[in-house]
Amino acid sequence: MPAIWDLLDFDSHEAVHVFDDRATGLKAIIAVHSTHLGPAAGGTRFWHYAEPQAAVTDALRLSRGMSYKNAMAGLSAGGGKAVILANPARTKPQDMLDAFARAVDSLGGKYITAQDVGMSEGDMVSLSKVTSHVAGLPGQGGDPGPYTARGVFLGVQAAAKHALGTDDMLGVHVAIQGVGSVGGGLARYLADHGAKLTLADVDAQRAADLAVELGGNSVAATEIMNVEADIFSPCALGAILTEASVSALKVRAVAGGANNQLATGHEGRMLADRSILYAPDYVVNAGGIINVLRHIENADDAEINRRINAIPERLAAIWAESDLGGKTPAEVADNMAQKLIGR
Distances (CA, A) of 308 to 125, 132, 279: 25, 26, 15
| Ordered domains of the chain (ranges, CATH) | 4-128 (3.40.50.10860), 145-340 (3.40.50.720)
Q: What string of DSSP letters covers 224-283?
A: GGG-B-SEEEE-SSS--B-HHHHHH-B-SEE--S-S--BSSSTHHHHHHHTT-EE--HHH
Give residue 294's pLDDT.
83
Strands of 253-254's sheet, edge to edge? 217-218, 196-200, 173-177, 231-234, 253-254, 277-278
Average pLDDT along the chain: 95
Q: How confident is the model at residue 198 (pLDDT cuts 50, 70, 90)?
A: very high
For residue 307, the surrounding DSSP H or E stretch is helix 301-309
> pLDDT tens-digit profile of 91-136?
999 999 999 999 999 999 999 999 888 999 899 999 999 999 999 8
CB within 8 Å of 256: residues ≥ 6 apart: 152, 155, 156, 176, 177, 183, 186, 232, 233, 234, 235, 279, 281, 284, 285
Mean pLDDT of 175-181: 96
| pLDDT for 1 beyond 90 | no
Q: How confident is the model at residue 66 (pLDDT cuts 50, 70, 90)?
A: very high
Give residue 211's pLDDT.
98
Alpha-carbon distance of 189 to 65, in angstroms, equals 25
Alpha-carbon distance of 342 to 257, in angstroms, equals 26
Higher pLDDT, 238 or 152: 152
Q: Specify burial of residue 261 (Cβ count, 10 A radius: 0-12, 13-18, 19+).
A: buried
Give residue 117's pLDDT.
87
27, 81, 161, 196: the catalytic one is 81
For residue 81, indicate whether it is catalytic: yes
Cα–Cα nearest to 255, from 324, 311, 196, 337: 311
Higher pLDDT, 299 or 95: 95
Cα–Cα nearest to 211, from 175, 166, 170: 175
Give residue 23's pLDDT.
96
Mean pLDDT of 171-186: 97
Inter-axis angle of helices 145-164 and 181-192, to 10 degrees? 50
DSSP class of residue 134 equals: B
CB within 8 Å of 26: residues ≥ 6 apart: 19, 20, 84, 96, 99, 100, 103
Alpha-carbon distance of 69 to 311, in angstroms, equals 11
3-state secondary structure of 83: strand
Calculated CA dihedral for residues 87, 91, 95, 101, nearest 10 degrees: 80
3-state secondary structure of 161: helix
> Are residues 176 and 186 in contact, defined by beta-carbon separation less than 8 angstroms?
yes
> pLDDT tens-digit profile of 303-337?
999 999 999 999 999 999 999 988 999 999 999 99
3-state secondary structure of 37: coil
| 140-149, 260-269, 278-287: the lowest-pLDDT one | 140-149
| pLDDT for 205 beyond 80 | yes
Q: How confident is the model at residue 299 (pLDDT cuts 50, 70, 90)?
A: confident
Question: Above pLDDT 90, what percent of the chain?
Answer: 88
DSSP class of residue 31 equals: E
Alpha-carbon distance of 114 to 221, in angstroms, equals 28
Strands (E), 107-227: 111-112, 173-177, 196-200, 217-218
| pLDDT for 289 beyond 80 | yes
| pLDDT for 297 beyond 90 | no
Mean pLDDT of 41-48: 95
Give residue 292's pLDDT.
85
